[in-house]
């Protein structure tokens, strides 16, 4: 259990439906244990009991605890990314502010429904797997945001290279602040909107009229196609 190697190649990739189901059982049990006791509560013995399988069965799919938690975080990331794409897709007009607000609200609403992620995030040590994965994700989000906004003609090319990275870090801090204390969902959404206001106030000089006023969803999607004119 002390092994911290999380190379995805160590995981057995389930092919049959039954095997995929067993992996999902393990990940579901992981979420319950994380919610109840944090990372330390996730042991192979506890997982086996919750998932209704043997310890040896756990090891058929995962070599150690860190790869299990890593797979759980990977699944959660995929789910929240889907939520962000769907939220942006529902926007009647797509603008810089609209994208940021939709993305941060989608994250906040996902965490409302998955409190175990908030628990392990707020209690994670600086060198923990959780924060390492969060840093990697933030960097990827910053790069993706910059590429998307530039492709759409939403930002001027003189935005500093760290600009969208900083936007993501600030938005992450806003979400953390919103969940650090017990709050109603409405108050969290107010915090998110205030945070987006603060971000927009800092990057307004780099937002083009197109990025400020927005475009239709169809035009936004078309501008992301390689070779399409923004």
CA distances in angstroms from 201 to 88, 97, 165, 169, listed in the order given: 21, 10, 16, 15
Structure tokens at 48: 């086996």
Q: Does 116 score more than 60 pLDDT?
A: yes
pLDDT, greater one: 222 or 9: 222
CA distances in angstroms from 51 to 63, 175, 206, listed in the order given: 16, 31, 51
Question: How much is the pLDDT for 19?
Answer: 82
pLDDT digits (tens, 9 = 90+) for 28-50: 999 889 888 888 889 999 999 99
Q: Where are the beta strands (DSSP E) in 10-164?
A: none
Enumerate residues 6+ apart whose C-beta is below 8 A from 37: none
Q: Could you tell me the CATH superfamily of domain 8-66?
A: Homeodomain-like (1.10.10.60)
pLDDT digits (tens, 9 = 90+) for 73-110: 899 889 998 999 999 999 999 999 999 999 999 999 99
Domain ranges across the chain: 8-66, 91-223
């Amino acid at each position: 259990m002390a092994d911290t190697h999380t190379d995805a190649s160590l995981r057995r990739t389930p092919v049959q439906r039954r095997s995929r189901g067993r992996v999902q059982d393990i990940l579901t049990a992981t979420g319950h244990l994380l919610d109840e006791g944090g990372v330390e509560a996730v042991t192979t013995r506890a997982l086996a009991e919750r998932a209704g399988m043997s310890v040896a069965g756990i090891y058929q799919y995962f070599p150690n605890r860190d790869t299990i938690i890593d797979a759980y975080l990977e699944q959660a990331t995929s789910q929240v990314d889907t939520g962000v794409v769907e939220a942006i897709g529902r926007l009647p007009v797509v603008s810089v502010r609209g994208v940021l607000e939709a993305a941060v609200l989608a994250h906040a609403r996902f965490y409302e429904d998955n409190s175990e992620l908030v628990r392990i995030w707020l209690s994670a040590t600086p060198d923990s797997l959780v924060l390492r994965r969060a840093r990697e994700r933030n960097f990827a989000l910053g790069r993706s945001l910059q590429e998307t906004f530039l492709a759409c003609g939403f930002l001027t090319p003189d935005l500093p290279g760290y600009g969208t990275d900083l936007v993501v870090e600030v938005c992450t801090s806003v979400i953390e602040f919103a969940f650090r204390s017990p709050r109603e969902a409405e108050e969290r959404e107010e915090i998110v909107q205030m945070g987006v206001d603060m971000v927009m106030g800092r990057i307004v000089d780099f937002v083009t009229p197109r990025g400020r006023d927005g475009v239709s969803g169809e035009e936004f999607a078309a501008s992301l196609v390689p070779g399409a004119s923004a």
